[in-house]
Structure 1
Amino acid sequence: MNEDNIKSNYIKSSIKYWQALLTYIEKTTVITTSTYSKESLTKYGDAVEGVLMNSTLNGVGIPQKNMKWIHFSQVNRTTDERRKAFLKELPKML
């Protein structure tokens, strides 16, 4: 495979190039809930944005610029009313 012919839907690993197969997915939204804030999650080992979104989803062909992360924090310290309000507002956030 000639490197000049490699388009954006090919990902380079340390060994070879492979083709990202989910290029038909134009955008994605990751929704999480946690006892921690979004800032804490990104500060202490960014598993959602750093690994899932920027590495895994981008690596299979989903454009990074079209990803969105919605997070509801401190689910253990909130009320059922706030949880229900979050779920009710969720479609507007998408």
Structure 2
Amino acid sequence: MSEITPDLVRHLGVLARIQLSDEEVERLTGQLDAIVDNIAKVSEVATPEVAATSHPIPLSNVFRSDVPGDMLSLDEVLQNAPDAADGRFRVTAILGEEQ
């Protein structure tokens, strides 16, 4: 017995504020019914003995520990800057006077 009926699809369309033609209702009825059937098949085998998984292969964190290393000196940082002043990068102003 089909759980998805054309009336249910029309009702869902109204709730979603989507205007559906008769052809769309017919097509969506079959598609949604197939989806519900497939979910029911999965639910049959999803028992407490089957562990839930979000990924077929176990994943692990690949990030290294965040440990400070050698740092650049101020001169090294600014050596390739197009313009610098008072130990800072010098850039063109992007905000207007009102800021």
Please confirm whether the aligned pair reaches a TM-score higher than 0.5, indicating the same fold: no
| Larger fraction in helix | 1
Normalised by the length of structure 2, the TM-score is 0.20
Q: Of Structure 1 and Structure 2, which has the larger fraction of its residues in strand?
A: 1
Whose radius of gyration is greater, 1 or 2? 2
TM-score when normalising by structure 1: 0.20
